[in-house]
Amino acid sequence: MVKKRINKSLKIIPQSGLIALFTLSSCGTFKVRNKDNAQVSSIKTVALVGMDVVEPVPKELGLNLGSGKVEADSAGGIGKFQQKSSHVEAMYQELHRALGLRLKWKVLPKQSMINNAGYKAAYTKTMKGWQNKMPPGQNQAQYVVEDVLDYDALRIMGQDGRDKLISDLGVNAIMVAKVYITLGGTSIMGFGPRHPKSTLTFQVYKKGIEAPVWFDGNVEGKEGDSVGATGLWSVEKLHKEGLDSAIDAFSKIAQERK
């Protein structure tokens, strides 16, 4: 079937699945969050060493030259890996700001962090060349921050690598975060408005401790305004509303939740 693209501004919503973010506790049960209050309370300085964002990739409308009908043409494939975008750069800065504001931590400035020789070595080891990383799902894109590690990097470097990075950066702890943006909303006969919503997951590590001293896999942001109806939604508005929802999630980091 031959298709001709007719308008790249017209988008079709991808199907998104439910997100389940869990970590194994020491007793073998699944937990969505775990926090060692004694260890976390001793943190004064931290580096936000890694962050990435996963969000839907729209389909495009194309003209089927055989039938003459406008039909959806998948643009997502198996997922777009390590994309760059200004809205993700803004998310990193907002999370960086929230850590200082909400937790009263002194957060290492990004430029000082990425100029550090130890950090550069960790970036080369975990972000360049072939890596054992799971790509985003079909019709999803992973966005990363320029010169900053992604969420998988701390797993890849192991405890020795994490301990060395903490020492190299001269901080009490390092933190990595991931933001998922999904589209929800009520639809009738398959049609209806699409509302973006963010879910933040993060891990905080201290030197000499293998497991994260603080893990939370379900910090939810507010639901954003509609980015368009089913089949016709704006990527630009998705980025704006997704950012606003993520900022709301960042404001809830310090809240104690069951």
Per-residue pLDDT of the chain (258 residues; tens, 9 = 90+): 433 333 333 332 233 333 333 333 333 334 578 999 999 999 999 999 999 999 987 765 333 344 443 334 444 444 577 888 999 999 999 999 999 999 999 999 999 999 999 999 999 999 998 888 877 887 788 999 999 999 999 999 999 999 999 999 999 999 999 999 988 766 555 566 778 899 999 999 999 999 999 999 999 999 877 767 665 667 888 889 899 999 999 999 988 665
Cα torsion 85, 137, 48, 99 to 10°: value is: 90
* Of the candidates 85, 119, 12, the residue with the CA atom closest to the CA atom of residue 246: 85
For 107, other C-beta atoms within 10 Å of its C-beta total 20
| Separation CA 232–CA 209 (nearest Å) | 48
pTM: 0.79
| Separation CA 125–CA 149 (nearest Å) | 10
